[in-house]
Amino acid sequence: MFKLDSPLMNFLNKVADIMILNFLLIVFSIPIFTMGAALTAAYYVGYKMVKNEESYIIKGFWRSFKENFKQSTILWLIMLAIIGVVAADYRILLYSGIEFGRNMRIIMIVATVVLAMGAVFVFPMQARYTNTVKNTLKNALLMALAHLPTSFLLIAVYAVPVAILYFIPQLLPALVLLALGCVFYFKSFLLIRVFNKYEDKYINPQPQEDEETTENDEGAEEIVSDETETPAEITETVKPTEPTEQAEEQTPPAP
């Protein structure tokens, strides 16, 4: 039961890793403006945990935090600006005294939901792929719209700790130690499944089997292979940002 490779010990090790991730995410998010880099690092560690590749949680988190700090901070500031604009619009909608039509309210709600779905993919993609700020935002939105059930689930998972706290307030100490870590571990599990679909298709394509054989004038066979065209939806070829010594890969395109 207490062997190092026993199911019980593996479970306890996973719980300990989730607690460490939870602590790191909280501490590195306290300055607020560093939250983008902290979220990116949390997803990077989460991916490793899901694939059972984690070894040093703190080391991996810190390395990803440093390497993604600049772009993650830019993305975070852009998202804060968008949140501010949306909040201002809702304030005008609710408290300005101006009577807005039903269609305007519906448009506002739909736009907010779409932006929220895109937001949940921004830092996961930053943690996994190297890309420009513009294309990271664009691909995150496209991927969210292409995987609506997963997008809704990625948003809804935040409600689980709140519901547990509401119905079982005695679990507050456990939630403080584990809630965010568990949320990001579960989200990483969902995101890896989505990303793998694109990586399997575009990073490791199967060899082309469509070959035509023609005979030349001397009777020998000449092989003509069909060239694979780049899909139109590819916005940019990029490389993963995982700070490891693994072989580099190409990124999957936007959905």
Q: pLDDT at residue 185 above 70?
A: yes
Domain interval for residue 193: 7-225
The verdict on residue 246 lying in a domain is no
Mean pLDDT of all residues in 155-180: 94
Span 215-231, pLDDT tens digits:
444 443 343 333 333 33
Max Cα-Cα span within the chain = 87
The verdict on residue 247 lying in a domain is no
The verdict on residue 232 lying in a domain is no
Q: Which of 67, 70, 108, 63 is nearest to 90 (CA)?
A: 108
Span 105-137, pLDDT tens digits:
899 999 999 999 999 999 999 999 999 999 999
Q: Quote the percentage of the chain above a pLDDT of 90.
A: 61
The verdict on residue 69 lying in a domain is yes
Rg (alpha carbons) of the chain, rounded to whole number:
23
Query: Contact 201/94 with Cβ under 8 angstroms?
Result: no
Query: Contact 172/165 with Cβ under 8 angstroms?
Result: yes
Q: How far apart are CA 141 and CA 145, in angstroms?
A: 6
Q: State how many domains the chain has.
A: 1
Q: What is the pLDDT of residue 235?
A: 43
Mean pLDDT of all residues in 80-87: 94
The total of other beta-carbon atoms located within 10 Å of residue 243's CB is 17
Which residues contact residue 72 at a Cβ distance below 8 angstroms, ignoring those fewer than 6 apart? 36, 37, 39, 40, 123, 126
The verdict on residue 190 lying in a domain is yes
Q: What is the pLDDT of residue 237?
A: 39
- Which run of H or of E encompasses 211? strand 211-215
Characterize the bridge pairing of strands 221-225 and 211-215.
Answer: antiparallel
The verdict on residue 2 lying in a domain is no
Query: Contact 216/222 with Cβ under 8 angstroms?
Result: yes
The verdict on residue 249 lying in a domain is no
The three-state secondary structure class of 147 is coil
Band (255; pLDDT cuts 50, 70, 90): low
Band (97; pLDDT cuts 50, 70, 90): confident
Residue 56 CA from chain centroid, whole number: 21
Q: pLDDT at residue 13 above 50?
A: yes
Q: What is the pLDDT of residue 93?
A: 83
Q: How far apart are CA 214 and CA 226, in angstroms?
A: 13
The verdict on residue 14 lying in a domain is yes
> pTM here?
0.79
Q: Rounded mean pLDDT of the chain?
A: 81
CA count, 13 A, side-chain hemisphere, 82: 15
Q: Which of 53, 54, 43, 76 is nearest to 184 (CA)?
A: 43
Span 27-49, pLDDT tens digits:
999 999 999 999 999 999 999 99
Residue type, 160: V
